[in-house]
Amino acid sequence: MLYVVSGAAGFVGSNLTDRLLSEGHRVIGVDCFRDYYDPRIKRRNLSRAIARKTFQLLELDLSRDTLEPLEQAIGSRTFIVYHLSAQAGVRKSWGRSFQHYVRDNVQATQRLLEWCKGRENLQNLVYSSSSSVYGNVDSMPMREDTSIPRPYSPYGVTKLAGEHLVHLYGANYGMPWVACRLFTVYGPRQRPDMAFSRFIEAAMEDRPITIFGDGKQARDFTYVGDIVEGFRRVETIKDREVINLGRGERVRLLEVLSALSEILGKHIEVEYVEDQKGDVRDTWASVDKARKLLGWEPEVDIFEGLAGQVEWTKTLSKAKSRSVSG
């Protein structure tokens, strides 16, 4: 099968791309290498993929560039789209930066959907949404059918807008799609601005870890390998469904720090600062729908997954040290 993965150089996108290639599929990766974080990290994420003959990279900005190169790369072959490209980050989505979120999460999605509509060789479009669409819900866990989306951040608004766009293109043009609401993904290649990356780097360098709020807030942390497995299963669903992909349990940040201290075998100093605008108090996914429709079950618990990310970070740090000394 031929796959188009937008955001292929990103954290989740590169892990998904490697999985597809390992299964023997052909992948067209689309990425514009925004400088929200160092583009060199994104290119490193694709180092394995680039070495494969079955991978093609198109450096395109979906919000403005012509998609003719994508048209030419696909030809008449049947294909599936994983739309993962987005401007991420809750805290930076306020103020003037909001225009970037509209550009990459709304405009880019609409232009991709315009290109996809009416294509008989499109088998499915999988839209990567976010738990941020829920906001602060009245009851837990967060369910696709009963938890009314009320985003608590501008970022969440744009991801929900993307869901609405996918839904209306499906309704008007008969386009197959499925949307996955991802819950706090972590693991190898996690973005450097994300919590676990910051925690691990600070702890390894014996610097204090900064916590926004009191540390008692909880998240449904989900290992990237489990997310990728969910994506691989969800592409068979063409009934225009919205599906949560999460671990299905809440873990408080203080528990994460305790686990990290145990994994590293050292005391971790913590500095508490004021809550950030847009941060919800808790997240917790109901994964009943994913279990029923996909037969999907997240396998990696927080301790195992965190240990895996620590090991990956150590390996990367050693490689950087060798590169500098060499």
* Catalytic residue ranges: 155
C-alpha span between 166 and 168 (Å, rounded):
6
The amino acid that residue 158 corresponds to is: T
C-alpha pair distances (Å), 317 with each of 44, 117, 314, 321: 13, 44, 5, 6
Is residue 29 within 8 A of residue 43, CB to CB? The reply is no
Residue that has been written with the tokens 């990279």 in this structure: 57
Task: Tell how strand 55-58 and strand 79-83 pair up.
Answer: unpaired
The amino acid that residue 44 corresponds to is: R
Tokens encoding 229: 């497995």
- Which residues lie below 8 Å from residue 307, measured CB to CB, with a gap of 6+? 263
Is residue 43 within 8 A of residue 9, CB to CB? The reply is yes
